[in-house]
Structure 1
Amino acid sequence: MKLTVVGGGSTYTPELIDGFARLRDTLPIEELVLVDPAAERLELVGGLARRIFARQGHPGRIVTTADLDAGVDGADAVLLQLRVGGQAAREQDETWPLECGCVGQETTGAGGLAKALRTVPVVLDIAERVRRANPRAWIIDFTNPVGIVTRALLQAGHRAVGLCNVAIGFQRKFAQLLGVAPADVHLGHVGLNHLTWETGVRLGGPEGANVLPELLAEHGEAIADDVRLPRPLLDRLGVVPSYYLRYYYAHDEVVGELRTKPSRASEVAAMERELLTMYGDPALDEKPALLAKRGGAFYSEAAVDLAAALLGGGGSPYQVVNTLNQGTLPFLPDDAVIEVQAAVGPGGPSPLQVADLDPLFSGLVANVTAYEDLALEAALRGGRDRVFRALLAHPLIGQYAYAETLTDQLIAHNREHLAWA
């Protein structure tokens, strides 16, 4: 089995490598290729990756290359974890929207649209090259904004599934609070990428007993602290929102906080410099503790599970993925990309049935889906008016004066990445 990681020079890659090494019985990789144009970073990450495999006795071969076509040739699955523009672009995404009093964040609002515009054309080019190399290869997208990027891939006919670590993080947290194994926790996870709610927590599988009411009653404070929302709000909602819902439910509060502290991009950039220094130590043969602060917790477990299921070697029977709606949420078009529990196998994901959503949640999902439609149109076809329409449709913006200003700012800060600008 050959797997390729595009963006393999990321400082986060050793987390993925550690998962591949620990879970080799689930996903028996013979060749792992790390592709990245940043040669110096790739050399450091690749060296540590080989030492992690050696320490854990993994027999697989690790190859590093800047040649994308060679890297994806013959790959059974390709994982995408790239960041067009790097942390410098992310720094911009997180700062200029604040000038209008709007959230500055890399996956939602104006910053999220900027990232989509930079990313979608690049990902589609990569996917076409993967298809030429192996039409049967699966593409697993971890590149944000996952929902929009995955929809672009599926709309272009690629064998693609989107992956996020929010659900597996909740699964691990709830299992700990309940004193059970993570595999025993089945989430009623529903919504869009970075716009989801846990509407049920069932033990043993999708038909198991729903223990969410007891979980909230007994551990509501701990859960509220994790998602950074007030406990009384969770009690009134009767569900657990992902922490990304804080950008919607406490928008002005978040903007105030973001204006008074360093950006997340600057914090990550500092961590990355320190991590790369660590990776250069030939004695280091395990992922350092600092990596846990980098973000993306449990990504490796989720990636192994998904790849194993898609390639027919195992994996959990039910997994939370980003895939086509196809009637799962009846108020959305079939070609919308949703994030839900699905049965996953070699034929791809098949979403499980979802209970009717409260209008409080479905209304927001429908609104953001409409924004994602317009965002993808802007990413594929370009043009100032398409950018403006997407920004005006976003519920975190929604005012024409803000949309006008943010459109100009977005184009000015991203001109080098926009072929049409």
Structure 2
Amino acid sequence: MSKKLKIVTIGGGSSYTPELIEGYIKRKDQLNIGKIVLVDIPDGEEKLNIVGEMARRMVKAAGLDWEVELTLDRFNALKDADFVTTQFRVGLLNARVKDERIPLSHGVLGQETNGAGGMFKAFRTIPVIGQIIDDMRVQCPDAWLIDFTNPAGIVTEAAIKHFGWEKTIGLCNVPINLETNEAKALGVPKEDLHFRFAGINHFHWHRVWDKAGNEITEEVIEAVYGNKQGSKEVENIHQAVYHIEQLRDLKLLPCSYHRYYYIEDEMLEHCIEDFKNGKTRAQVVKQTEKELFELYKDPALDYKPEQLTQRGGTHYSDAACEIIASIVNDKGTLMTVSTRNNGAIEDLPYDCIVEISAKIDARGANVENWGKLMPAARGTLQIMKAMEETVIRAAIDGDYNAALHAFTINPLVPGGKLAKRILDEMLYAHKKYLPQFADKIAEIEKDEEITSYVDELMKSN
């Protein structure tokens, strides 16, 4: 019998934790788990205790003897860990509310991982990933880091390229949802199809083959998008209908998040309407989480409730469990992950982080070669990667100039005075979680027009 595994989850009080535990239980014959440690911060202690007790009930109901430890002491929790998974949100959901509402108040997209909101989530998250890796170097230098903290691709690039933790794999639930949706549209089992993805997190494309080895990408485009009815792949994105003509030209299937770029006007209009009605996605999720944690308090609940699928990130946790099982058992499972490009996408730097199909085994992620993209896809992808790299530089160095440059590169943020105004407002709004920008924020705080505007806007948070 192999040695018992210790798995540590940073952000253990997340509403997704029951799915994580379910994923481990489903793989109990593949994973010789001894201890699961759920770690959170003082502000998340109540949720940690609620979901932690539920995790213990789930393990007990499965007849397993795994120890489930709950703690606020991250450093000591990491001691001798084999795997560290991350699912945290710096600033909790209130930070996401600001990410959405401040840009939308100016008629600019506010979204969790795209546009201004996505960049600010990265500004807050990247330094914390660096701190976690510092702790891992001391406490568990051989551990794998499995990241599904958003923006997953940017966070993974920071972890590998800037903080030097090569044993990092990022993942996302979007490819899984797309595969399921497309198999359903074709009326065939997902296992009868072969999918290949390439791009970056929340900005990738894919192709599909049938079990006989015939490429059927164009057939899938027509089956899923040709009826002009749209396609519901994820809970957290308005399902605006793509222009089928564009997809026919691409001859590639889009990521769900491409709607923000390919149908920007309709998506923005929908988000602004939600903002005016006090129903931005973050505000909806806060209510959903409140209801979930009421369910989790039930001492009789010892399984993942169906309502968790409404949270918007279902399958994230299960995918993380499969990565762990595939590494431990050297399985070679084909998955879509964020990892080093290693030349697989010729249009991007060799060593940058991409989201791509890869076989997961004891060595980690082994990418499948993709080659080149058509010019229309290549150009937008290169812009987005340049934006990501600039965001990381701004986040690590606290470089305001780089942050402004990232805002102007990002296709979803208008350039000029408006970009600077939104950047300054968001720096002020998130000052508690952006110490690297402290000097610039102190300067912004002297501008009463900005501070009063943000304070008044967030009164209705």
Quote how far apart the aligned CAs of 1:289 are: 1.6
Partner residue of 1:17? 21
Q: Is the 8 A contact 2:185 2:223 kept in 1?
A: no
1:114–1:219 Cα change, 3 Å: closer
Partner residue of 1:211? 216
Instruction: Identify which of 51, 55, 66 aligns with 2:61.
Output: 55
Instruction: Identify which of 232, 239, 256 aligns with 2:244.
Output: 232
Partner residue of 1:281? 298
Quote how far apart the aligned CAs of 1:315 are: 4.3
Q: Tell me whether 1:247 sits opposite 2:260 in the alignment.
A: yes
1:223–1:175 Cα change, 3 Å: farther
Q: Percent identity?
A: 36
Partner residue of 2:364? 348
Alpha-carbon distance between aligned partners in 2 of 1:375 and 1:102, rounded to the nearest angstrom: 19
Alpha-carbon distance between aligned partners in 2 of 1:203 and 1:57, rounded to the nearest angstrom: 40
Partner residue of 1:202? 209
Alpha-carbon distance between aligned partners in 1 of 2:416 and 2:231, rounded to the nearest angstrom: 35
Alpha-carbon distance between aligned partners in 1 of 2:331 and 2:190, rounded to the nearest angstrom: 14
1:126–1:196 Cα change, 3 Å: same
Quote how far apart the aligned CAs of 1:134 are: 1.6
Q: Tell me whether 1:6 sits opposite 2:10 in the alignment.
A: yes
Q: Is the 8 A contact 2:98 2:426 kept in 1?
A: no
* 1:135-166 deviations in Å (ceiling 9; x for gaps): 11000010111111101100121021111111
Q: What amino acid does structure 2 have at the position aligned with 1:53?
A: V
Q: What amino acid does structure 2 have at the position aligned with 1:11?
A: S
Instruction: Identify which of 141, 144, 149 aligns with 1:138.
Output: 144
Q: Is the 8 A contact 2:271 2:280 kept in 1?
A: yes
Partner residue of 2:410? 394
* 1:39-78 deviations in Å (ceiling 9; x for gaps): 2111110111111122223332211111112221111110
Alpha-carbon distance between aligned partners in 2 of 1:26 and 1:183, rounded to the nearest angstrom: 21
Alpha-carbon distance between aligned partners in 2 of 1:50 and 1:108, rounded to the nearest angstrom: 36
Q: What does 1:13-92 correspond to in 2, within 5 Å? A: 13-37=17-41, 38-92=44-98
Partner residue of 1:305? 322
Partner residue of 2:446? none
Q: What amino acid does structure 2 have at the position aligned with 1:335?
A: D
Instruction: Identify which of 147, 159, 162 aligns with 2:170.
Output: 162
Instruction: Identify which of 293, 296, 312 aligns with 1:295.
Output: 312
RMSD of aligned Cα (Å): 1.9
Alpha-carbon distance between aligned partners in 2 of 1:314 and 1:203, rounded to the nearest angstrom: 26
Q: Tell me whether 1:110 sits opposite 2:127 in the alignment.
A: no
Q: What amino acid does structure 1 have at the position aligned with 2:179?
A: Q
Q: Is the 8 A contact 1:171 1:186 kept in 2?
A: no
Quote how far apart the aligned CAs of 1:231 are: 5.9
Q: Is the 8 A contact 1:26 1:315 kept in 2?
A: no
Q: TM-score normalized by structure 1? A: 0.94
Partner residue of 2:444? none
Alpha-carbon distance between aligned partners in 1 of 2:371 and 2:350, rounded to the nearest angstrom: 17
Partner residue of 1:331? 347
Quote how far apart the aligned CAs of 1:316 are: 4.8
* 1:270-295 deviations in Å (ceiling 9; x for gaps): 11111111111101111112111012
1:137–1:13 Cα change, 3 Å: same
Please, which moves more after superposition, 29-38 or 369-378?
29-38
* 1:68-115 deviations in Å (ceiling 9; x for gaps): 122211111100000000000000001111233221001111111111
Q: Secondary structure at the match of 1:173?
A: helix
Q: Is the 8 A contact 1:20 1:300 kept in 2?
A: no
Q: Secondary structure at the match of 1:331?
A: coil
Partner residue of 1:359? 375
Q: Secondary structure at the match of 2:116?
A: helix
Partner residue of 2:286? 269
Quote how far apart the aligned CAs of 1:236 are: 4.2
Partner residue of 1:98? 104
1:224–1:316 Cα change, 3 Å: farther
Please, which moves more after superposition, 63-72 or 76-85?
63-72
Alpha-carbon distance between aligned partners in 1 of 2:69 and 2:153, rounded to the nearest angstrom: 30
Partner residue of 2:434? 418
Q: TM-score normalized by structure 2? A: 0.86
Alpha-carbon distance between aligned partners in 2 of 1:390 and 1:362, rounded to the nearest angstrom: 19
Alpha-carbon distance between aligned partners in 2 of 1:418 and 1:271, rounded to the nearest angstrom: 28
Quote how far apart the aligned CAs of 1:182 are: 3.3
Q: Is the 8 A contact 1:27 1:304 kept in 2?
A: no
Q: Is the 8 A contact 1:374 1:390 kept in 2?
A: yes
Quote how far apart the aligned CAs of 1:188 are: 1.8
Q: What amino acid does structure 2 have at the position aligned with 1:201?
A: V
Q: What amino acid does structure 2 have at the position aligned with 1:72?
A: L
Q: Is the 8 A contact 2:87 2:148 kept in 1?
A: yes
Alpha-carbon distance between aligned partners in 1 of 2:271 and 2:217, rounded to the nearest angstrom: 32
Q: What amino acid does structure 1 have at the position aligned with 2:217?
A: L
Q: Is the 8 A contact 1:317 1:343 kept in 2?
A: yes
Task: Structure 1: give runs of 5+ residues left out of the alignment.
Answer: none
Aligned residues: 417
Q: Secondary structure at the match of 1:225?
A: coil
